[in-house]
A and B are shown apart, each in its own frame.
Chain A
């Protein structure tokens, strides 16, 4: 049913730290690797080794440059499904193939019901849905539903593939509906934000902003260290006298 659940028991989602993401694409590759054999398999590639390759990916890594007129910054930016609380991709679906799970808030596509009309991809502002022309159905991030509940995996492995793959630990997984959870606390502490909040889709996934840049020596704390060292040195009266005498 494409009508949305009033509330979900959990709000499982991801938090991506834009301060430490190094843009290595490991999360995207790991996602592709796992999901090519997972719930929505296969993730078709066409002309993979040709001049103009294309294919279905659930995770895409952009690189942005911000420019405030004085300074520029490079920000690596992984983009995937945000498992919105108000997912228009679900409500526009004419067949009931798209749905939001009541138990954990994950947005999924039932490939058996999807007619491949593509309207859901038009309704998503985040580009989370990619059409598989070979299968004739829409595909999207499943939040690795076949990992996170998979009892055949070690408990530490029951996380989305992208989270496990990240070498910088820039990706976190958890229940964003529980204010006491580790991931919610992280969002709280770091001022995590939602993408395009003005459109009202209320993404569950959040991003952590890049920390303020350290632009002068003082910002790094160097001056404080030096002063402390000088103060410590001044305690020794002989060397203090010698320093003064020689500085004259």
Chain B
């Protein structure tokens, strides 16, 4: 599948935003950390900017962005539509939750309600994003039970890296907390590792033989393409990355997404003040880079059933 930059930016940016605001809402509800209200409100705003940037960038690849409002109408059948609906419904809850940190006119029970709604709706929106891909039977590397957990886990992991900065500013980035974050990173990326293991062992059901129905005559090869140059189908659905590059890119995603941020989290654990903040910011930058590489690869490694008609295999 063609890795469109707008879609990669959308899923990684909004994923991190929803993850961050989910951490903040969880903090509010559990009281696990003491955040300074100012740090919390700024973190909420950063999350909202990331979410909004993502949603806006996803409209860049539309042929008719001015009609984007229509996309929320078919929630009965379409996961893309459901994602739009949940994304929109999340906003009022998230805005009340954001304001509640500093605006004391908002009663405590409303604030807690808004936090709970923000937490739930953020995760549901990320699940819907994953389901857009997981529901496509035409792409076996997406149509499996690992895709949604990976989307949710990496959203929590990337949001968590942003969250550590809010913690550090509030003076709450103590050693147990940073060790917890390393564990969260490890757990999240292990779902991705499981996904890679799964797709590497996946046996394709459809072949050029079943696609053309000519399998009973022997091996089906394409003798002549219908067109002399590339068409929309091959540009959009025919993009693949060579296996050796895929292996290198997977290693790169793990290094940037897990290993390096993990090291910086540990280093931050043994430092404090400004040094800690800088270390966490570097870790966050590296971690988000890892997510972008992972997302690019998610598209580039996916093979679409239509390529069977062009003599390729899934």
Chain A positions within 8 Å of B, measured between CB atoms, are: 1-4, 18, 28, 52-57, 60-69, 71-75, 77, 79, 88, 90-97, 113-119, 121-127, 130-133, 135-138, 193-200, 207, 209-210
Check if B138 sits within 8 Å of A195, measured CB to CB: no
Given contacts A113-B70, A123-B136, contact A56 B232 (CB under 8 A): yes
* Contacts of B32-90 to chain A: CB distance below 8 A: 61-65, 67-68, 70-74, 76-81, 84
Check if A94 sits within 8 Å of B72, measured CB to CB: yes
Q: Among A79, A91, A94, A130, which residue has its beta carbon within 8 angstroms of that of B84?
A: A94
Given contacts A77-B212, A131-B236, A210-B217, contact A125 B222 (CB under 8 A): no
Measured between beta carbons, the chain B residues less than 8 angstroms from A64 are: 208, 212, 214, 220-223, 311
Question: Please, how many angstroms separate the alpha-carbon atoms of A71 and B79 in the complex?
Answer: 47
Q: Among B61, B76, B233, which residue has its beta carbon within 8 angstroms of that of A127?
A: B233
Given contacts A54-B229, A199-B137, contact A115 B304 (CB under 8 A): no
Check if B137 sits within 8 Å of A116, measured CB to CB: no
B14 CB to nearest chain A CB (Å):
16
B136 CB to nearest chain A CB (Å):
6
Interface size of B as a range: 35 or more
B177 CB to nearest chain A CB (Å):
40
Check if A196 sits within 8 Å of B70, measured CB to CB: no
Measured between beta carbons, the chain A residues less than 8 angstroms from B77 are: 2-4, 90-93
Which 3 residue pairs spanning A and B have beta carbons closest together? A116-B63, A136-B63, A68-B218
Contact of B135 with A by CB under 8 A:
yes
B236 CB to nearest chain A CB (Å):
6
Given contacts A77-B212, A122-B304, contact A93 B78 (CB under 8 A): yes
Measured between beta carbons, the chain B residues less than 8 angstroms from A63 are: 222-224
A22 CB to nearest chain B CB (Å):
13
Check if A193 sits within 8 Å of B213, measured CB to CB: yes
Residue interface mask B169-193, A partner, CB < 8 A = 1: 0000000000000000000000000
Chain B positions within 8 Å of A, measured between CB atoms, are: 1, 61-65, 67-68, 70-74, 76-81, 84, 132, 135-139, 205-206, 208, 210-214, 216-233, 236-237, 304-306, 308-311
A196 CB to nearest chain B CB (Å):
5
Given contacts A62-B222, A92-B80, A195-B211, contact A130 B237 (CB under 8 A): no
Check if A198 sits within 8 Å of B205, measured CB to CB: yes
Check if A199 sits within 8 Å of B206, measured CB to CB: yes
Q: Among A52, A115, A209, which residue has its beta carbon within 8 angstroms of that of B65?
A: A115
Given contacts A73-B217, A197-B210, contact A94 B81 (CB under 8 A): yes
Question: Please, how many angstroms separate the alpha-carbon atoms of A62 and B137 in the complex?
Answer: 23
Check if B306 sits within 8 Å of A125, measured CB to CB: yes
Check if B206 sits within 8 Å of A137, measured CB to CB: no
Check if B223 sits within 8 Å of A60, measured CB to CB: no
Check if B70 sits within 8 Å of A95, measured CB to CB: yes
Q: Among B67, B135, B228, B309, which residue has its beta carbon within 8 angstroms of that of A62?
A: B309
Check if A121 sits within 8 Å of B309, measured CB to CB: no
B313 CB to nearest chain A CB (Å):
14
Query: Which residue of B232, B304, B308 has the most chain A CB atoms within 10 A of its CB atom?
Result: B232
A50 CB to nearest chain B CB (Å):
9
Question: Please, how many angstroms separate the alpha-carbon atoms of A94 and B85 in the complex?
Answer: 10
Check if B74 sits within 8 Å of A196, measured CB to CB: no
Given contacts A122-B139, A196-B206, contact A117 B80 (CB under 8 A): yes
Query: Which residue of A2, A57, A113, A122 has the most chain B CB atoms within 10 A of its CB atom?
Result: A122
Check if A3 sits within 8 Å of B76, measured CB to CB: yes
Check if B217 sits within 8 Å of A66, measured CB to CB: yes
Question: Please, how many angstroms separate the alpha-carbon atoms of A199 and B140 in the complex?
Answer: 11
Q: List 22 A-B contacts (CB under 8 A).
A: A2-B78, A4-B77, A18-B214, A60-B231, A62-B309, A65-B220, A66-B219, A73-B217, A92-B77, A114-B63, A115-B68, A118-B236, A119-B78, A122-B236, A123-B138, A125-B306, A127-B306, A130-B231, A131-B232, A195-B213, A199-B206, A210-B214
Other contacts beyond A62-B224, A116-B62, A209-B216: 19, CB < 8 A: A1-B76, A2-B76, A18-B214, A53-B228, A57-B231, A92-B80, A94-B81, A95-B71, A97-B70, A117-B62, A121-B232, A121-B236, A121-B237, A122-B236, A124-B306, A125-B137, A131-B63, A198-B210, A199-B137
